Amino acid sequence: MRYLLIILFLISSVRVKSQTKRDPRVVGMAGAYTTIADGIFSIGYNPGMIGLQQDKPLMIQGLQLDFGILGNFFSIENIAQYSGDNLNTKEKNKLFKQLEDADGLSFFMDTHMPIPLINISKGNMAFSANNIILQNYRLPIGLLELIFYGNGQKENLDLEFNYEIVGLNEYGFSFGIPFKSMSWGITAKYMQGLFYLGVDEDSSSSNLITDDLGIYGSGKYIIRQGVGGSGFGFDIGVVSRPYKGWQFGASVINLSGSIRWTQGGEETSSSINPLTSNFYPFQWGDSTLNANQSILYTFQIDTIRADKLSGDSLFTNETSFFVPKKEKQFVTRVPMTFRLGLSKKMDSFLIASDLVAGFENSYYARKQWKWSIATEWSKIESFPMRIGFGWGGGDLKELGMGFGIKKSVVMFDLGFSFRNGMWLHTMKGFNFSFGFTYVGKEKKKKEDEGPLPKPKRVI
């Protein structure tokens, strides 16, 4: 089993050098945010909340950085348990079943950075601008099956893998319309694609045949890139007005959101944000891709059997760069999510709970429900503390925690969560987020000003 872990780790290391919007408070509350997000932070969760912000002060996001990584196997506990151990059949079947249910060994990485000082909310309107980088990797279940069982399980093993990396800027304008008992909101978004590199699943195929003749197979992967893209989308949401401390809300995020890419676009389109310089232009081996090139990788496995082991060409592979005969446009879908939430405000505690579901297995979304519950303690108004728990979805189990520090008109927030595991030794990923926000002073309401002094009687 030691060699299995080494092989899996080396394979994943070759490739590994989120919600499309995230902030420290939602990380600390494990995603329970649909009815409690304030001002600019409601964008991406429930734009209906904006309609209830008429009396809230001006809010401006300053510096913020959010990074996350998520896998479905590697943890301190798993490495300690399986490294150097020989699995029996029952243990091997259980471990393989977990990976099979996840459709392979997967990794997901995401980075979110609001563009400083231009994420602003005032009254029932807000403008947001965010830089997002998403990376998705999945090793094929056929390769894992070969490692676990050799060639005894199936004659035909599917070796097709998934690989995608995308960078984009997302600009949104949100406004809310308050009514007597509820508020409706909408966010209209323009998504500026910076770069994309991914396996074209429709044009790629790979398999390994194991039968009485021996082991043989072949594969062809076409990896296409897009440089410069654009698309539109919108979010809709509704939330009730507070009633005895209770609030209810629902939203649909990234409704009809997609990006149309052009193969052979302008190389300068990726230079808009300095973060993209770590990814683009793309490197493949020792070569650098031009903006109009795609990658064709092919391999051939000749029959592996005793009488051919002395040959020197059992495995051959070739990588070539090519320019498509016709520059084609292709579309990548930004995953849509549905959110349903409630919350209860008490004296010094805020309790919130959410149900979230995706409509496809892509990036941060999963076609299953995720439930989360969290609380925020604000007895000390300048030092709120948060903790939350989530179960289901892509994270399976998530434990979040965080705090805020408010000094005058500046708010500092920090959040950290264990993903796909509850503790340091069981987690298979994490989220880390921190940021500074300008929050103007709220105007005092007339009822808060107290009674006027009685005028002195003049004799």
Provide the β-strand partners of residue 307. none
d(CA 277, CA 141): 33
Give the pLDDT of residue 281. 74
Query: Which is higher by pLDDT, 362 or 151?
Result: 362
Q: What is the pLDDT of residues 43-79, one digit of tens each?
A: 999 999 999 987 788 999 999 999 999 888 888 887 7
Q: Which long-range contacts (CB under 8 A, 24 or more apart) does 84-93 make?
A: 84/1, 84/2, 85/1, 85/2, 86/1, 87/1, 92/148, 92/149
Query: CB neighbours (10 Å) of residue 363?
Result: 23
Q: What is the pLDDT of residues 152-179, one digit of tens each?
A: 556 677 777 788 888 899 999 999 999 9
Assess whether pLDDT exceeds 80 at residue 404: yes
- Report whether 42 contacts 116 (CB < 8 A): no
Torsion sign across C-alpha atoms 419, 420, 422, 425? negative
- Alpha carbon of residue 173 to chain centroid: 21
Q: Which of 75, 79, 41, 47 is nearest to 60 (CA)?
A: 41
Q: Coil, strand or helix: which one is 20? A: coil
Q: Torsions phi, psi of 388, nearest 5? A: -150, 160
Give the pLDDT of residue 84. 63
d(CA 187, CA 72): 33
* pTM score over 0.85: no
Assess whether pLDDT exceeds 80 at residue 13: no
- Report whether 220 contacts 322 (CB < 8 A): no
Assess whether pLDDT exceeds 90 at residue 345: yes
Domains and CATH numbers, the chain: 2-445 (2.40.160)
pLDDT band at 245 (very low <50, low <70, confident <90, very high): very high
d(CA 326, CA 297): 20
